[in-house]
């Protein structure tokens, strides 16, 4: 079961403008976390592998029987985009909350991602990544992007030599904006190809569309926090 502030399950510290939190548990419970009341970065560790669908993506996209057989949770998030496969050691999941009215708040939904993409790019550059770019245009769609997050490109998302490495989605409420970030440590489209029943031609198409940063998760987390400072 996931633990929330006050229950002893998160280590929390404050430096700079952002509170830093850590949460662990099933992806379904992590996605149900209450929104903070201040600028916050929360690093989320999934207890079990999970395929996480975007807010409007049909549950029927997933082979539920196969997911159950493999011990993979099927979860829907409340932010948009295609599916992401979460497993320990393959992705850094960071939720970044910006309250309405904060200096980082941006009314334009697309432009709201830009500062965060810049922070991710600075973090990855500090780890030695080259060829980084932050997308400032509209949505770039491909054949597979309605199904798979890393098959398309949206505002603020980060690529390395044209291959996406950081995916972003956004949930906005009256309280503020929650940005859900997935930074690939490694990229293997096979789990999504299998669980979404995309067919083997998808595997060949998806392989060059994304890439992993190839660093331990702790290094990536420290680099992102340093970029926020």
Report the run of H or E that residue 228 belongs to, with start and end: helix 217-228
Is residue 4, in this structure, part of any structural domain at all? no
The mean pLDDT value of the chain amounts to: 92
Would 1 be classed as within a structural domain? no
How high is the pLDDT of residue 8? 29
The answer to the question of residue 219 being in a domain is yes
Q: Supply the CATH number for residue 130's domain.
A: 3.30.930.10
Q: Is residue 87 part of a domain?
A: yes
Contact of 144 with 197, CB cutoff 8 Å: no
- Considering the domain boundaries, does residue 5 fall inside one? no
* Per-residue model confidence (pLDDT) at position 204: 95
Phi-psi region of 11 (alpha: psi -120 to 50; beta: other; left: phi over 0): beta
Coil/strand/helix, residue 23? strand
Express each pLDDT in 90-148 by its tens digit. Answer: 999 999 999 999 999 999 999 999 999 999 999 999 999 999 999 999 999 999 999 99
pTM beyond 0.75, yes or no = yes
Which runs of consecutive H residues, i.e. helices, occur in 42-158?
A: 64-70, 114-126
- Tally of structural domains, the chain: 1
For residue 34 the two structure tokens come to 């209450």
Answer for the pair 181, 123: CB distance below 8 angstroms, yes or no.
no
Q: Is residue 8 part of a domain?
A: no
Q: Which of 109, 106, 43, 44 is nearest to 80 (CA)?
A: 109
DSSP run (H or E) holding 126: helix 114-126
Range of the domain at 199: 13-228
Name the one residue in this structure whose structure tokens are 């489209």. 189
Nearest to 79 by CA among 62, 100, 91, 96: 96
- Does 152 map to a domain? yes
Within a domain: 176: yes
DSSP 148: B
User: Which regions in the chain score pLDDT beneath 70?
Assistant: 1-16
């Amino acid at each position: 079961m996931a633990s929330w502030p006050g229950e002893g399950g998160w280590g929390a510290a404050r430096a700079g403008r952002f509170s830093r939190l850590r949460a662990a548990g099933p992806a379904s419970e992590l996605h149900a976390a209450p929104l903070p009341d201040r600028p916050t970065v929360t690093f989320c560790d999934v207890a079990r592998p999970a395929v996480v669908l975007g807010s409007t993506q049909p549950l029927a996209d997933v082979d539920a029987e196969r997911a159950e057989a493999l011990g993979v949770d099927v979860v829907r998030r409340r932010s948009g985009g295609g599916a992401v496969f979460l497993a320990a050691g393959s992705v850094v999941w960071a939720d970044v909350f910006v309250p309405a009215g904060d200096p980082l708040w941006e009314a334009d939904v697309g432009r709201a991602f830009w500062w965060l993409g810049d922070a991710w790019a600075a973090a990855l550059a500090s780890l030695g990544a080259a060829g980084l770019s932050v997308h400032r245009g509209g949505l770039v769609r491909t054949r597979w992007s309605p199904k798979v997050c890393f098959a398309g490109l949206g505002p603020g998302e980060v690529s390395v030599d044209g291959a996406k490495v950081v995916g972003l989605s956004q949930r906005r409420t009256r309280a503020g904006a929650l940005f859900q970030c997935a930074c690939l440590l490694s990229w293997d489209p096979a789990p999504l190809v299998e669980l979404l029943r995309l067919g083997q031609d998808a595997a060949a198409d998806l392989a060059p569309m994304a890439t992993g940063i190839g660093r331990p998760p702790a290094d990536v987390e420290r680099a992102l926090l340093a970029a926020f400072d």
